[in-house]
Structure 1
Amino acid sequence: MSDSERLAALGYRQELRRSLSILGNISMGFAVVSPVVGLYAAAQVGMSVAGGAWIWALPVCLLGQSLVVAVYSELASQWPLAGGAYQWSRRLAGPRTAWLSGWVWQFAVMFGNTTVAYLAAPWAFALFGAVPTPSRLVLTAVGFMLLCTLVNAYGINLLRWFVSLGIAAEAVASVLVGLSLLLVFRKHGFSLVFDTLGAPHALGIGTGSALLAVLAVGGWAFIGFDACVSTAEETRDAGRQVPRAMWWALLSVGLVVILNAVSVELAHPSPADVVSGKDLDPVTTAVVSGFGGWAEKPFVLVVLVSFTACLMASQGGAARGLYSLARDGVFPFSRQVRKVNRHQAPIGGLVAATLVSCAALPLGLSTAAMGSLITFGSAATFVPFFLLCAIALTARLRGRWQPAGEIRYGRWGTALNLLAVLWTGFEVVDICWPRAVLAPPGAPWYQVWGAVLGVGAVAATGVAYLLARRPHSRLAEPVTDGPAAAGAGAAAPAGRPG
């Protein structure tokens, strides 16, 4: 069965350009997970909370996220569709659950793009030696967003070219810098990775509480692999290649992140300064200390390219997720959002995703508000992970779902699924737990509670829309596939266009 025939069997026409190979699909996942972006998001906070011992959170989070990829692999293999979490939930649990899961997921991705664009802006000022102000940072972030929108609007081939160029520079620089710091410029012994440097005591918390906090932070470095699923309808032989791409994206980025985390820590001239808050950029400090002042500008350029590639790929994923919801007529303004342009790019979803992400950028005028957005983005990402893993496990145990795609883990699949539920459930609670130690000193209460408030607000808005407009009524009830039907690609028919 060809890709187009398989898509038709799942109830949809081939509207997007199917031109990605497995390498192109991997590049989308690699760019969104991004070792540079992930390390910058976690290193300073991790060291300030748990000292040198923070890096042990990374392999734990990588192992936990591997459990999630195992579940996603079986689902993506059987139903290789854009908007995976929404589409899979629809077939396993029904329209209401699927719609709400898709709603929360989409806003998490779109607000995550707000955060990436805002965090990329200071690097543009650093590259040119300019002094940023809050308003200039916001305007620069808007510029990044519009640039990435323009590239995405020209279709998957141009997006792939830009993203591949970005991750090539990032991967080479990350590996070379990481190995050089570790092998040539190392200043400390490996015992540092077992030393908390008194960070928990200084914060007034126990070592166990500190390690729980860095597990909440470390999870951020290993999300984004599901961007491979977003481009499933543009990938050749998607049922077989998308699961492989997710594994390659997660494991390759995971190993590079761990390598660089260890390297930065051991090559940093004074880890105690990071713990005390004197050094808020330990990655750049370690690189410049090792390579010399000449390395600062090239390194800043690599970081800027990495953030840009991450934003491009993630924005493309958000657009395709909205397209998947809108073609079923279940998203506001579906007729406009589901439009595809002459380059076979989901232009309606792209415009909608850009507008939502840019609408949140004025929060960058208040650093406390932007901090709340960061914690919300992390929590809202793990909530759909948990929900989908729980839905899949329930469907397995009730006999409603037996994996029937190219990728199947047999009797191990249920055990892996159970562990994935336990892991993602733990992370949701851990991330949402209000901790003053993960907020800037003197942060307002709403930033400390940012994850709970953010997820709650998006979920409440979704429930209100669900009750008022009943979008799920446009969708047929899910089909309980038997093994033969599932293998043939049977699924609930597509919804009516909105």
Structure 2
Amino acid sequence: MVASAESRTPDHPSSTAADGADLASFGYEPVLHRKLGRFASFAAGFSFVSILTTIFQFFGLGYSFGGAAFFWTWPLVFLGQLLVALNFAELAARYPISGAIYQWARRLGGEAVGWFAGWMMVIAQIVTAAAAAIALQVVLPSIWDGFQLIGTETALTSADGAMNAVLLGSVLLAFTTTINVIGIDLMSKINSIGVTIEIVGVAAVIALFFTHAERGPAVVLQTDTAAPGPYWAAFLVSGLMAAYVMVGFNSAGELSEETKNPRQVAPRTILSALTASALGGGLILLGALMAAPSLTDGALGAEGLGYVITAKLGTPAGKVVLGCVAVAVIVCTLAIQTAGSRLLFSMARDGKLPFATQLAAVHPRYGTPVLPAVVIGVLGIALLVVNLGNPAIFATLASVCIVMIYLAYALVTVPLLIRRIKGTHGFERTDADGTPLFSLGRWGIPVNIAAVAWGLAMAVNLAWPRPEIYTPQGGGWWMLWAAPLFVLLSVAIGTVVYRTVTTRPAVAETRTPAVEPAVEPA
């Protein structure tokens, strides 16, 4: 029996049952707790992007290369990522399944494509969680010097700062792992409260900057403080900041099995999380450039937004704003780990990982895949410890995880484009109630082509072995080529693992083919 439109509203009591039946049509038993409403779904994507966390981390890097005109990398990256997000929104409406990147890629490109998309995304999320966790070093010592537990130098590029960042990041990952184990209900409440605080913090920072401006918006046309050499080269490097910030908007899709009415909610929250982040982040960048006491004394490149805030606010008010940033870092790490654990769970449920039975197990009381959350947390901490004392840890981790995410995205957009061109993607127009699903319609092919071109170009740009990013204080050739080497190593190890696990049966018995055949052209 088809549910009525009224019964499919996210807050209606029968919504969970209808969503469970929808999931069963893909061959999976509904074992995760479906607790997320519209705002919680939006919060998952917004907190993963986390403009307060990542702009605080990367503003100095972007400015030190591109000068004030690096601002234009922000709208450029947003437009490129919007192309990807539009394709993802279509897929989220058709495949509301946990582990979205893996599930979408395998249904479009086959088992191997799907597996490697999931493999790359899992690795990227582990690296991203570690990179996000060390952002506490940018904030906490500025609030209270007691948080500097190792040495006296707080900068991430110093040995003391890097070691202290590892310590603070490890404590944070232990905390987020505990929350993820306890359950999606607690996680969503903490995440929603944290996102609300972050939004208030974003508004406060924007208001502070614009009411204390030292110069007009024409500052974004200045290139005289950029790195030496041709400006286009400096501009490409400065784009690392925006490229790192605007990823993870697909988190709403990763949590589809815990979202009410995901076919309607997830596409909207994917797009709204990215758009809201782009708008808020753009205003922060513009405001900071207008309010900075100086553009030429080196402080803006070295200290980033913290320099502007402390210069414009008294100590108590400035610490309140920095406290909002600390909250943003915490919920960002929490959201990344949650998305990663659901991806691990989804792949393990299909028997596509070592120890699949254990990874696919869901706690009967908490309704969460416990082991995947623990694995993400432990590996994130291990990654930090391995890089202990490395002053380039920040830029290296960031660049590597960006490249992996862009490649995982490409393993979705490329097979989707092939299906579109052949006219065989078979996207239904409405859900079970007859409600229209998000669709690009005739714009599907051109938007998809642009998304593929954008993603591949950015992956090459970000993986390029630039000494300024990978070996700012010198280092071996392997550090300079860290991103491409990491990708090759991941693929090599992944090939071995894939060959090992593909002969195993799925943990959760499916009632539909692993890769669904195309049913009709769009």
Whether contact under 8 Å (1:44, 1:282) holds in the other structure is yes
Match for residue 442 of structure 2?
411
Match for residue 178 of structure 2?
150
Instruction: Note if 1:402 corresponds to 2:426.
Output: yes
Q: Partner of 2:296: helix, strand, or coil? A: helix
Whether contact under 8 Å (1:69, 1:247) holds in the other structure is yes
Task: Identify the match of residue 212 of structure 1 among 225, 236, 256.
Answer: 236
Task: Identify the match of residue 416 of structure 2 among 382, 392, 396.
Answer: 392
Task: Identify the match of residue 435 of structure 1 among 452, 466, 484.
Answer: 466
Q: Partner of 1:101: helix, strand, or coil? A: helix
Matches within 5 A, 1:298-313: 298-313=320-335
Q: Partner of 1:402: helix, strand, or coil? A: coil
Match for residue 202 of structure 2?
174
Whether contact under 8 Å (2:101, 2:408) holds in the other structure is yes
- Of 277-286 and 146-155, deviating more is 277-286
CA deviations on 1:376-434 (whole Å, 9 max, x unpaired) are: 01111111112211111011112331322511111111111111111111111111112
Instruction: Note if 1:345 corresponds to 2:368.
Output: yes
Question: Separation in 2 of the partners of 1:296 and 1:268?
Answer: 15
Match for residue 492 of structure 1?
none
Give the C-alpha shift of residue 194 in structure 1.
0.4
Instruction: Note if 1:23 corresponds to 2:20.
Output: no
Give the C-alpha shift of residue 451 in structure 1.
1.6
- Of 226-235 and 391-400, deviating more is 391-400
Q: How many residue pairs get matched?
A: 479
Instruction: Note if 1:52 corresponds to 2:85.
Output: no
Instruction: Note if 1:324 corresponds to 2:340.
Output: no
- Tell me which amino acid in the other structure corresponds to 1:337: L
- Tell me which amino acid in the other structure corresponds to 2:217: F
Match for residue 195 of structure 1?
222
TM-score (norm: length of structure 2) = 0.88
Match for residue 517 of structure 2?
480
Instruction: Note if 1:61 corresponds to 2:77.
Output: yes
Q: Partner of 2:46: helix, strand, or coil? A: helix
Question: Separation in 1 of the partners of 2:163 and 2:469?
Answer: 25
CA deviations on 1:146-195 (whole Å, 9 max, x unpaired) are: 1111111221111111111111111111112212311x100122221101
Instruction: Note if 1:424 corresponds to 2:448.
Output: no
> Which ranges of structure 1 fall in alignment gaps of 5 or more residues?
487-498
Distance 1:400 1:331, change over 3 A: same
CA deviations on 1:321-368 (whole Å, 9 max, x unpaired) are: 100001111111111111111111111211121122122111133223
Question: Separation in 2 of the partners of 1:122 and 1:286?
Answer: 14
Instruction: Note if 1:364 corresponds to 2:380.
Output: no
Q: Partner of 1:367: helix, strand, or coil? A: coil
Question: Separation in 1 of the partners of 2:56 and 2:137?
Answer: 14
Question: Separation in 2 of the partners of 1:440 and 1:190?
Answer: 34
Whether contact under 8 Å (1:232, 1:238) holds in the other structure is yes
> Which ranges of structure 2 fall in alignment gaps of 5 or more residues?
3-17, 151-161, 430-436
Instruction: Note if 1:465 corresponds to 2:497.
Output: yes
Whether contact under 8 Å (1:95, 1:472) holds in the other structure is no
Distance 1:472 1:413, change over 3 A: farther
Q: Partner of 2:134: helix, strand, or coil? A: helix
Task: Identify the match of residue 5 of structure 1 among 9, 14, 21.
Answer: 21
Match for residue 288 of structure 2?
264
Question: Separation in 2 of the partners of 1:398 and 1:54?
Answer: 40
Matches within 5 A, 1:284-295: 284-295=306-317
Instruction: Note if 1:79 corresponds to 2:101.
Output: no
Distance 1:287 1:95, change over 3 A: same
Question: Separation in 2 of the partners of 1:49 and 1:437?
Answer: 9
Give the C-alpha shift of residue 45 in structure 1.
1.0
CA deviations on 1:186-238 (whole Å, 9 max, x unpaired) are: 0122221101124232xxx2011112222233211111111111110011110
Q: Partner of 1:364: helix, strand, or coil? A: coil
- Tell me which amino acid in the other structure corresponds to 1:328: D
Q: Partner of 1:273: helix, strand, or coil? A: coil
Identity, % of aligned pairs? 26
CA deviations on 1:116-168 (whole Å, 9 max, x unpaired) are: 11222453333331234254432322211111111112211111111111111
Match for residue 489 of structure 1?
none
Matches within 5 A, 1:117-132: 117-130=133-146, 131-132=148-149
Match for residue 336 of structure 1?
358
- Tell me which amino acid in the other structure corresponds to 1:4: G
Match for residue 494 of structure 1?
none
Question: Separation in 1 of the partners of 2:145 and 2:240?
Answer: 34
Whether contact under 8 Å (1:41, 1:221) holds in the other structure is no
Match for residue 253 of structure 1?
277
- Tell me which amino acid in the other structure corresponds to 2:245: A
Instruction: Note if 1:116 corresponds to 2:148.
Output: no
Task: Identify the match of residue 34 of structure 1 among 50, 71, 83.
Answer: 50
Question: Separation in 1 of the partners of 2:366 and 2:204?
Answer: 37
TM-score (norm: length of structure 1) = 0.92
Whether contact under 8 Å (2:101, 2:412) holds in the other structure is yes
